[in-house]
A and B are shown apart, each in its own frame.
Chain A
Amino acid sequence: MSTEVAGSPRETRQAGAARSMLDFYLTRGRTEIQSQFQYRVAQYLYMIGMLAEPIVYLVVWTTIAEQQGGSVEGITPGEFAAYYIVWTLVRNMNIVFTPYGWEWRIREGILSAALLRPLHPLHDDLAGFAGWKFVVIGLWLPIAAVLWLVFDPLLDPSLVEVLVFSVAIWGAYLIRTMFLSLLGMVTFWTTRVSALFELAIAFELLLSGRLVPLELMPSWSQDLAYLLPFVWTFYFPIQALVGDLSTAGLLGGLAAQAGWTIALTGLMLVAWRHAVRRYSAVGN
């Protein structure tokens, strides 16, 4: 704490900075909502293309559950349906600026312009994608309604679960943004990030609950999953709504999300400091 009295120039300055940051986020988010909302058809085609993945998983596990006399590891077709329908929203929340984006930014010299601004480029990504998420959530609702009618899910969340879920999807958004931005820092050293990126996504697919609910995995890989951040970006948010987590489990999950967000942001900022020193503009 400083020894200065309230209303000192320094505190006023800090409050002003916080207010302009908030103002930046709101304005950037709002313009992104407006600009993305123009491309509704494109968004829908993209979102419908993404539905194939969970529907394939859902059909496979429903088939197995029915063959096994009604459930796999205690999960019934109705519960699988709930899991994979909620999955579709969580997946959409998880779409963030990718390492390919960083590669493109550096290759085309677009980063130069971003560096001239008084804000860290991460703020722009965070605010822009967050705004877009509101469009996505709006467009997702009709899709969810159709999936609901087709697959007949078993979903009966409590109010607390709904509240935790609506926070947890943003936690997932933050963790994944930071993780992929951290990976994006690699593109300051090499232009061929694709193999590394695909590898990370493969790990994520298997150890996050994106492929299957973690209960279906062998127990050693479940243990491994809890040492990595991925589980908090897919399995936890879905399970918060679909599963039967205790209040402690729900709040503990949110705390874990906060922990991972802070840790990954820290790593990202350290990596950024080293990375940006290597940057020399190309073109533009």
Chain B
Amino acid sequence: MNELQYRANFFIQLLQSAVAVVTALVVLKLVYSHTKELNGWSESELLVVMGIHVLLGGVIGMSIQPNMERLMEEVRDGKLDFALMKPEDSQVLVSVREVRIWRAVDIISGAGVVAYGVRGLETDFGASDALLFLAMLVIGTITIYCFWLVISTLAFWIVNVWNIIELFNGIYLTGRFPVSIYPTWLRIGVTFIVPIAFAITVPAEAVTSRLEWGTVVLAVGFSAVLFVATRRWWRFGVRRYSGASA
């Protein structure tokens, strides 16, 4: 909340968010000036995908990434001791210490893009669709959070985990389009190795009435397994941590 002091940053973020959204819209217009549908996805449907991409990018930038960056930094310089000594659960603690509040602008503008896309849909969008969408979005966010924590926990063994974060930020771009357009090897990669499909495409499928129950079960099951595994992996990492000087 420290960032609330820097109000000019809000306008900067607003401008940056606008640039990102306009760029995404131009890309969309360009794609649909050459075709009516992209692998079965209409323009409005793809707008929903892009909106979720911006929205989730905001969630990651606002809370997941800053917390994980701080974690990696503290493992390196030994300050993590202070968090571990507190009586609260260490995993919860390291996950909620930082908030970059102005990145919430991306969440709002992303939601706006989704809403605009929903308006243009030919299929009906009812309350149950909205609920399913929100549920899948929450599950997707949990999956992405677990993925980040698994990577960040590597900091207990490897000094320079930043590079892997760079790698993630590159791969996150694939979420701008539904994963069904990608060749099989890439689709599997962005579904199970980097869980972008669960985080973006599956919620988008919920909005555009193409979500099958099998996918829901898979998404819920995958995130549950990943969540438990992440927790164990975190504990394993903490046991490995021996502090450094601080």
Contact = CB atoms under 8 A, between A and B. Distances in A.
B167 A64 contact: no
Given A52-B170, A56-B177, A202-B23, A194 B34 contact: no
Contacts of A41: 163
B231 to A, nearest CB: 26
Contacts of B172: 52
Contact of A46 (B23, B35, B163, B171): B163
Interface in A41-90: 41-42, 45-46, 48-53, 55-56, 59-60, 63-64, 67-68, 72-73
Interface in B157-186: 160, 163-164, 166-174, 176-177, 181-183, 186
Contacts of B23: 202, 205-206
Interface string B18-40: 01101100110011011101110
Nearest to A205: B23
A153 to B, nearest CB: 15
Nearest to B37: A67
Contacts of A45: 163-164, 166-167
A49 B169 contact: yes
Contacts of A217: 30
A53 B171 CA distance: 8
A64 B38 contact: yes
B8 interface: yes
B38 A60 contact: yes
Query: What range describes how many residues of A lie at the interface?
Result: 20 to 34
A206 B177 CA distance: 18
A239 to B, nearest CB: 18
A199 interface: yes
A50 B19 contact: no
Contacts of A211: 27, 30
B218 interface: no
B12 interface: yes
Nearest to A64: B35
A72 B177 contact: no
Contact of A60 (B20, B22, B31, B37): B31
A157 B172 CA distance: 33
A149 to B, nearest CB: 12
Contacts of B182: 59
B15 interface: yes
Q: DSSP majority for the A interface? A: helix
Contact of A52 (B39, B163, B171, B183): B171
B30 A64 contact: no
Given A52-B174, A53-B173, A202 B22 contact: yes
Contacts of B20: 198, 202
B71 to A, nearest CB: 19
B215 interface: no
A19 interface: no
B181 A59 contact: yes
Contacts of B186: 55, 59
Contacts, number: 88
Nearest to B164: A45
B174 A42 contact: no
B16 interface: yes
B31 to A, nearest CB: 6
A60 B9 CA distance: 35
B170 A48 contact: yes
A195 B167 contact: no
Interface in B113-139: none
Nearest to A201: B19
Given A48-B167, A56-B174, A211-B30, A42 B160 contact: yes
29 contacts: A42-B160, A42-B163, A45-B163, A46-B163, A48-B167, A49-B167, A49-B169, A49-B171, A52-B172, A52-B174, A55-B186, A56-B173, A59-B177, A59-B182, A60-B31, A63-B181, A64-B35, A67-B38, A67-B39, A68-B34, A72-B34, A150-B183, A192-B9, A198-B15, A199-B15, A202-B19, A202-B22, A202-B23, A206-B23
Interface of A: 41-42, 45-46, 48-53, 55-56, 59-60, 63-64, 67-68, 72-73, 150, 192, 194-195, 198-199, 202, 205-206, 211-212, 216-218
Given A49-B170, A59-B186, 16 more contacts: A45-B164, A48-B167, A49-B166, A50-B170, A56-B173, A56-B176, A60-B177, A195-B15, A195-B16, A198-B19, A198-B20, A199-B19, A202-B19, A202-B22, A205-B23, A216-B30
Question: Which 4 A-B pairs have CB atoms at the shortest separation, nearest pair first?
Answer: A49-B170, A49-B167, A45-B163, A195-B15
